[in-house]
Structure 1
């Protein structure tokens, strides 16, 4: 019954198709007649247009060669990118139904065969025969449609090839109708047929089908036992065929598909079963894909963005695998591979130099050569492989973007740089379990140094990029800058923390704070050369003064307490006081020309930081001079707070008020009066109830004298300022007389 239904449906579909096809043919004939009439009317217009196009235009050659070449390759790349996007979009738009249709047909055949199997209508051998027969029928159908419907026929033929692959796989894995060698031979034969058809039809779609089938064939006929030498011999032969087709037809897609499959297989073999034999396949793969990347260079002396990207990936992917093999097997020297690859690229660099071609190709070969030599030095010092390779490769991509302006390298950099950060964080975790690392010359910090240097170089490259004004680039570059400065900061800080980890917590905290303050100070000091944006500069200054307050409140008293407990030497207190150098320099040199002082809140933060720092330093000195043991601190702290602190604050309040009047900065005057108010409130609400009579008398007398003298000085200052203003107003009249 089901056969009758299927046959009836097929006949209905064929009749309907024939009816529609005849209508479409008549419509095409009418459209063709109308088109010929329109073409005759437009002949004269086209001739006039050609005459105008043939008029020569003046050419200006006053731009530098490198800039002109970069503009040309950038425009070409952008045009190629847009063309590829348009091609893909148009292909999907026009052939979506075809793709879905062939996929649905294959599934329908599969479900029908499964139904027949479940009903025991056919045995195992006839099932396989039906599969091969249907695949051949679909391929034949594509063959007959190739003249008028080339894309449609390619998709149909690809579907038939997929049926053949799946049939061979099921025959081997499920039914065991033939051995693994026969199954593999069958899949290779299908691949050869597909390659021959694609070459004969000049169809890139078919060659892509054949490559997918060729690389997936080992998985289809796998029995669970790995025979890697045979596998990669087969892959090498397949890649050589790909290279030949690529040179004949200039199809770039097949090279990328082969590259991805080859190195997924190869790296999996390397990390699963590290063998010296795999080195030969790495080298053969390097040569094959190196020639693929340079095919346009040898033909036309030019490389597209995809060629340059392939060149970068070939070198660094092979370095990862080869260096890992040498490291795991204990062979030396591991730098033989980056140096060898550097020599290969330097030969092409010398070729460009000898021909005096200092354009894009020269820059790319130079950058790759220098990057490989840098990586060789890093690996010689036993740095971590993945982190070092990715860090140098990211910088190389950024440099090529800077030289060529090709956006593909910017995007690749933004993808790779977060991976560098993740790899570096994993590297830092080795500090946790490390027992006795050398200072600086240890694998963790040397790896961090590679990341640090490359990150700093990245910041230098991104300083003045033409895309800087674009919002999306501003966001990525701002995020990148934060991550970059954070990587540099933590790379040095964690190394310092590791080597002082045996010290008391206050020592670790203080050293970390001192380093952080100097790090922020260095960024602020070179903010113009580093082109730090104004908002970022303001935020850094805020952070700097907040850390000053935190440092003086926690570190100073903590160091004094630990000194009295004989846990830290007295000289460490002098090291702690080093924060005053960037603090004072920041106030005197950095702040006057910064955007920070335009905000009223900034004056309050600076003043609070200065008052807090000076108060706590005088307190620390007072404790160090008078305390003999830790138990003395409590009484001395109370005495300092009651007697000396109000005097210190009163003097500072007078300084702030004086500075505000002198420089005409009202915020300083407000701060001074606020500090006076706090001092008086503290004196009357708290201090008088805690002091003894003698201390109370001394504090009131000294504070009263300070306030009276300050008031007298302010009155004189106001009078002087008033006289100066009057003299300025009278001066023009005197000159006229």
Structure 2
């Protein structure tokens, strides 16, 4: 009953479709008549609006030009160029229903066949027969629509081809009606038929369907055995067919489809089962798609942006795969293939230079050739393959962006550079697993060195791109700088830590923090030369002060403990104190000229840094001068905290307040007052109850004298400032009178 009901519904749909189709034809005729009427009206209007014949004297040619510009406006205005992806979006918008419809129909047929199977209406051979008939029937429907509805017909026919592919696959996998060889032959026949139909229809869309089926065929009839020789022989034949179609029909999307799918197959083979057998197929793949990328170059001596991208990708992926095989199988020399590819590109570069054509083509071949030679040199020094290749390719993309000003290379650069950072981070993990690396001349640091060089070149190239002045580009440039300096920092720091990893933890921490302080200090000094903007400079100063605090308090304490434990020699404390040099220089030269002091919190952080630095270092020197062992540290520390620390804080607070009043810095005054308040609170709430009588008397007397002297100085300073203000007001009155 359900089956007959379905037939009735289909008949009803066909009846309604016939009526709707007639209505659409009537509307098309009406629109055609309206277009003819509008066209005739436009012609009449054009005839009516003609340039009037106006007589001008020979002496007044400018007047004639003005009248001509007024009557007939220029038609040579630049027409906005459509975005490259608009055709794709238009295709999807206009044919979304068709695509969804054919997918729904294919699923409907599949569910119907499944229902028939569940009801045991048909056997296995009958099921395959229904699938084949359904596929052929759908293709015939597409054939009848081919003239008036080309894209619709292509999608319908592609759906029919998909039904045939799935039918053969199910017949082989589920029902075992065909052997693997027969199934493959049948799928190849379907592919060839679909290629012939697409060529006959002149439909690029249908050809893409055909190629997808062709590339998926080996997966459809796979039994799990890794017969790569057969697979890539078949794929190579497909790619040569694609290349032929590209030259005949200029269907470049099929070339990109072939490149992407073939690259995935090749890379999977390389990782899954590394063997020399894959090398000839890499070379065939390189030749086919290199010729594909240079099609327009051979014919018109021009290269489009997508062709340039193909050249970059085919050289990059081929180099990665072939060098990986040589490395994994331990063959030498690994640089042979990068050099061969460099020679091929160098020959085209030589051709351009002989013709004295120094346009985009010259820049492209120069960039690729130099990149491949650089990769070869880096690999000769045993650097890590993926990190090196990606870092150099990112620089190549940026170079191409600069030379061609095409956004596709900018997008690819911003996609690839984060991958470079990830690959570099993975490379650094080798420091954990590898022992006895040489200083500097080891694979890990040499890889980092290549990355650093490419980063510096990238910085130079970014400065030379005019579009960088745009606000969004400027943001990306500054973000790139932050990431770049981070990579350089970790590359140097990890190399240093690796080679001192046998020393005590206090030694490692101290050297690491000292290096960090000097690294940030170097960035602050070179800020103008490397074009660090004011906001990043301000952020670096904040970071600099934080690491100064860590050096003074945490690192210093660890060193004192290590010295008393006999793990570090006492003179090392002098090396630790070297962080004072960049701090004092920054405080004297860099901070006053920056925007750092324009925020209120900056004075508080600066005051905190000075207090902690002086307090910590005086405490450390006191301990080293008086302690003979680590057991004496706690007692001496309590004595210093109770007796000397309030005095130190009181002196510093007085300096802050004095300097704040002198320079009219209210936040510094507040910091000084806050420090005095903390000192008094600490003295009365804790210190007094821990002192003996003599220490209590000494502390109170000294602190009281300091506070009185500070108060006197502040009063005197206030009077001086008041007298200066009064004198200025009197001078102004005298001048006005």
* Structure 1 residue 255, shift from structure 2 partner: 1.1
With over 3 angstroms needed to count, the CA separation of the structure-2 counterparts of 1:699 and 1:225, relative to structure 1, is closer
Q: CA deviation at 1:271?
A: 0.8
Mapped partners of 1:26, 1:323: distance in 2:
65
Matched with 2:417 is 417
2:508 is aligned to 508
Structure 1 distance, partners of 2:475, 2:288, is 40
SS at match of 1:606: helix
Change over 3 Å in CA distance of 1:181–1:714 after alignment to 2: same
Shift of 1:702: 4.4
Residues 391, 420 of structure 2: 8 Å contact kept:
yes
Cα 1:735/1:33, change in 2 over 3 Å = closer
Corresponding residue of 1:96: 96
Which residue of structure 2 aligns with residue 68 of structure 1? none
In structure 1, C-alpha distance between the alignment counterparts of 2:723 and 2:34, rounded to whole Å: 98
Instruction: Tell me the distance in 2 between the aligned counterparts of 1:679 and 1:20.
Output: 92
Q: Deviation at 1:544?
A: 1.9
Tell me what 1:184 maps to: 184
The match for 2:56 is none
Cα deviation for residue 90 of structure 1 reads: 2.9
Equivalence for 1:25: 25
Which of structures 1 and 2 has the larger relative contact order (alpha carbons within 8 angstroms, sep 6+)? 1
Q: Give how far 1:21 is off.
A: 2.5
Q: CA deviation at 1:233?
A: 1.3
Alignment of structure 1 residues 445-456 onto 2, 5 Å: 445-456=445-456
SS of equivalent residue, structure 1 residue 440: coil
Report the Cα distance in structure 1 between the residues aligned to 2:2 and 2:12, rounded to whole angstroms: 15
- Tell me what 2:109 maps to: 109
Deviates more, 1:245-254 or 1:658-667: 658-667
C-alpha contact 2:138 2:156 (8 A) present in aligned 1:
yes
Cα 1:302–1:695, aligned 2, differ >3 Å: closer, same or farther?
same
With the length of structure 1 as denominator, give the TM-score of the two structures: 0.89
How far has the Cα of 1:44 moved from its partner?
3.3
Q: 1:46 to 1:617 in 2, by over 3 A?
A: same
Counterpart contact for 2:154–2:206, Cα < 8 Å:
yes
Q: 1:57 to 1:363 in 2, by over 3 A?
A: farther
Instruction: Tell me if the contact between 1:460 and 1:530 (Cα under 8 Å) persists in the aligned partners.
Output: no
The residue number in structure 2 matching 1:65 is none
Deviations 1:367-419 (A, max 9, x none): 22222222222222222222222222223223323333322223323332332
Q: What's the CA shift string for 1:117-161, capped at 9, x where partnerless?
A: 444444444443443333333323322321111112111221222
Q: Which residue of 2 aligns with 1:627?
A: 627
RMSD of aligned residue pairs (Cα, Å): 3.3
Matched, 1:341 2:344: no
Which segment drifts farther, 337-346 or 324-333?
A: 337-346
- Deviation digits for residues 73-129 of structure 1, max 9, x if unmatched? xx99x6351xx32x3333233322322222233233333334444444444444434
CA shift digits 1:318-348 (9 cap, x unpaired): 1111111001111011111222222222222
User: Which secondary structure does the structure 2 equivalent of 1:147 belong to?
Assistant: coil
Instruction: Decide whether aligned partners of structure 1 residues 677 and 206 sit closer, same or farther in structure 2, where only a CA change above 3 A counts.
Output: closer
1:451 shift after superposition: 2.8
Aligned to 1:645, the other structure's residue is in SS state: helix
**Equivalent position of 2:158 in the other structure:** 158
Question: Alpha carbons of 1:540 and 1:736: their partners in 2 closer, same or farther (altered >3 Å)?
Answer: closer
Change (3 A) 1:120 1:698: closer
Instruction: Quote the offset at 1:461 in angstroms.
Output: 3.9
- Residue 69 of structure 1 is matched in structure 2 by none
Structure-2 separation of matches of 1:486 and 1:736: 60
Show the counterpart of 2:82: 79
Q: Deviations over 1:414-450 (max 9, x none)?
A: 3323322332232222222333222222222222333
Quick one: distance in 2 between partners of 1:50 and 1:239?
Answer: 57
Shift of 1:168: 2.5
Ranges in structure 2 where 5+ consecutive residues have no aligned partner: 52-67
Relative distance call for 1:48 and 1:273 in structure 2 (3 A) is: farther
Superposed displacement of residue 187, structure 1: 1.7
Q: Would the aligned equivalents of 1:390 and 1:420 in 2 still touch at CA under 8 Å? A: yes
1:292 corresponding residue in structure 2: 292
Moved more, 346-355 or 233-242: 346-355
Matched, 1:592 2:571: no
Find the aligned partners of 2:48 and 2:498 in 1 and give their Cα distance. Answer: 79
Matched position secondary structure for 1:42 = helix
What residue number does 1:355 align with?
Answer: 355
Could you list the per-position Cα deviations for residues 42-68 of structure 1 after superposition, in whole angstroms to 9, with x for gaps in the alignment? Answer: 1134568899999897999xxxxxxxx
**Alpha-carbon distance between aligned partners in 2 of 1:79 and 1:624, rounded to the nearest angstrom:** 75
1:640 equivalent to 2:640? Answer yes
Equivalent residue, structure 1, for 2:657: 657
Residues in 1 aligned to 2:355 and 2:45: alpha-carbon distance in whole angstroms: 47
Deviation at 1:685, TM superposition (A): 4.7
Matches within 5 A, 1:544-693: 544-693=544-693
* In structure 2, C-alpha distance between the alignment counterparts of 1:518 and 1:306, rounded to whole Å: 45
> For residues 104 and 643 of structure 1, what CA distance do their matches in structure 2 show?
86
Q: Give yes or no for contact 2:646–2:683 (8 Å, CA) kept in 1.
A: yes
Quote the Cα distance in structure 1 between the aligned partners of 2:75 and 2:485: 49
Does the CA-based 8 Å contact 1:463-1:530 persist in structure 2? Answer: no
What is the 5 A alignment of 1:63-462?
A: 79-81=82-84, 84-85=85-86, 87-462=87-462
- Quote the Cα distance in structure 1 between the aligned partners of 2:312 and 2:260: 14
User: Once structures 1 and 2 are overlaid, which stretch shifts more, 535-544 or 700-709?
Assistant: 700-709
Cα distance in 1 for partners of 2:570, 2:36 equals 100
1:261-280 CA deviation, whole Å, 9 max, x = no partner? 10111111111111101111
SS state at 1:79 partner: coil
CA contact under 8 A between 1:155 and 1:205: conserved in structure 2? yes
Deviates more, 1:565-574 or 1:703-712: 703-712
Seen in structure 2, the aligned counterparts of structure 1 residues 700 and 231 have a Cα distance that, compared at 3 Å, is same
CA spacing shift, 1:57–1:627, aligned 2, 3 Å: same
Change (3 A) 1:150 1:638: closer
Bigger mean CA deviation after superposition, 196-205 or 701-710: 701-710
Where do 5+ consecutive residues of structure 1 fail to align? 61-71
Corresponding residue pairs, total: 720
Aligned partners of 1:700, 1:171: CA distance in 2, in Å?
A: 100
Q: How far apart are the structure 1 equivalents of 2:472 and 2:10?
A: 55
- Whether the 8 Å CA contact 2:402–2:464 is kept in 1: the answer is no
Once residues 203 and 533 of structure 1 are traced to their aligned partners in structure 2, the CA distance between those partners, rounded to angstroms, is 54
Name the residue aligned to 2:60: none
